[in-house]
Amino acid sequence: MGPLERLRKEWFILGIVLVIAVARLEPGIGVKGGPLKPEITITYIAVSAIFFNSGLSLKTEELTSALMHVKLHLFVQIFTLVFFPTAIWVFLQLLSITPINEWLLKGLQTVGCMPPPVSSAVILTKAVGGNEAAAIFNSAFGSFLGIVITPLLLLLFLGSSSSVPFTSIFSQLFMTVVVPLIIGQIVRRYIKDWLERKKPPFGAISSCVLLMIIYTTFCDTFANPNIDLDKFSLIIVVFIIFSVQMSFMFLTFLFSTRNNSTFTPADTVAIVFCSTHKSLTLGIPMLKIVFAGYEHLSLISVPLLIYHPAQILLGSLLVPTIKSWMVSRQKALKLTRQPKAPVKV
């Protein structure tokens, strides 16, 4: 892979580093009440744009073929939205006695509460040759579930730290997430042929808007003199994030390949990626809504910002290994299913 191709693939991760650096140098531009007016442009316009874009790009017809695989969907959604946040909460009870920054620990809990992403799990499942339709369905369905369940989980695990009224969170989520998604899907029905022909860069558009949201979030941090992030906590959190991802990928792999499992090797690939990946696209706007006006918002969002590139990096590194496992497993299953030749007497 040449340097230009590598840059094209990793531009979003580089973009995150760049916008945080710019926010550090000049926080006054994107701060609340500043020239960018993020309390309007980001809170309403940018978040709505991301979900309108998602509604426009989501191919609903691709999901219908995967709809009937109920057991797989149940496993992925229960693991992502029940087991994951609960396991992280138990783990954080042990970490709470350590000197790690408490807001970063709260951020780890928010990562656990997030739904699966619409893109990365699908891209990696496709790269391996796994059950892409199941990955698309679970990513999309998980995102829809996340609109309702993620705020509930955030309030359940971090309720005491949020001063935002419950009803205002849901009304804002409905107006900036659900409504734009539905409008996007309706518009898609009328311009479907044009979209198929032109193939607009939906992913790049959402990523650019997301960089704006990340920039203004960190402007608020750097403009606040009371916030201090120690390097020790940050290094430990990076280590924890990689450890959690590896452990959960291994756990889902073991569960979906056990002897009495009905999942195919292609299903296992979709399960491993969809169950362990978390959405930054949905996560950052949701944190912005749930913790609106909260001075530690950016510290809370740091683990999610680390988790996103970590899941892509780890997933990309594991693609060749998982692919060779899946191919050899499929060959072995094909051999065992072949009918034996009748013995001539």
Computed on alpha carbons and rounded to an integer, the radius of gyration of the chain in Å comes to 21
Is 345 among the domain residues? no
Note whether residue 343 is domain-resident.
no
Token pair belonging to 176: 């900036």
Q: Is residue 16 part of a domain?
A: yes
CB 300 within 8 A of CB 237: no
| Total domains in the fold of the chain | 1
Q: What is the mean pLDDT of the chain?
A: 81
Q: Give the pLDDT score at 255.
A: 92
Q: Answer whether 125's CB lies under 8 Å from 270's CB.
A: yes
What is the predicted pLDDT for the residue at 162?
A: 47
Which residues in the chain belong to E strands, given as ranges? none
**Residue 191 scores a pLDDT above 80:** yes
Residue 122's nearest CA partner among 281, 8, 332 is: 281
pTM recorded for the entire structure? 0.72
Which pLDDT does position 226 carry in this prediction?
59
Residue 340 lies in a domain: no
Looking at the domain assignment, is residue 149 inside a domain? yes
pLDDT confidence of residue 6: 56
Domain membership of residue 333 (yes or no) is no
The residue segments making up the domain with residue 35 are: 3-328
Closest CA to 208 of 9, 19, 6: 19
Residue 339 within a domain: no
pLDDT tens sequence across 42-62: 778 887 887 788 778 766 665
Q: How far is CA 237 from CA 159, 173, 219, 284, in A?
A: 22, 29, 22, 18
Contact 156, 92 (CB under 8 A): no
Q: Is residue 341 part of a domain?
A: no
Q: pLDDT digit string (tens) for 262-300? A: 888 999 999 999 999 998 777 877 887 777 777 777 788
C-alpha span between 38 and 27 (Å, rounded): 12
Q: Counting beta carbons within 10 angstroms of the beta carbon of residue 221, is it exposed (0 to 12), middle (13 to 18) or buried (19 or more)?
A: buried
pLDDT band at 338 (very low <50, low <70, confident <90, very high): low
What residues have CB less than 8 Å from 219, skipping those under 6 apart?
A: 23, 27, 28, 29, 30, 31, 34, 38
Q: Are 174 and 283 in contact (CB under 8 A)?
A: no
Q: Indicate if the pLDDT at residue 303 is higher than 80.
A: yes
| Angle in degrees, CA 226, 25, 27, rounded to 5 | 55
Give the domain CATH number at 102.
1.20.1530.20
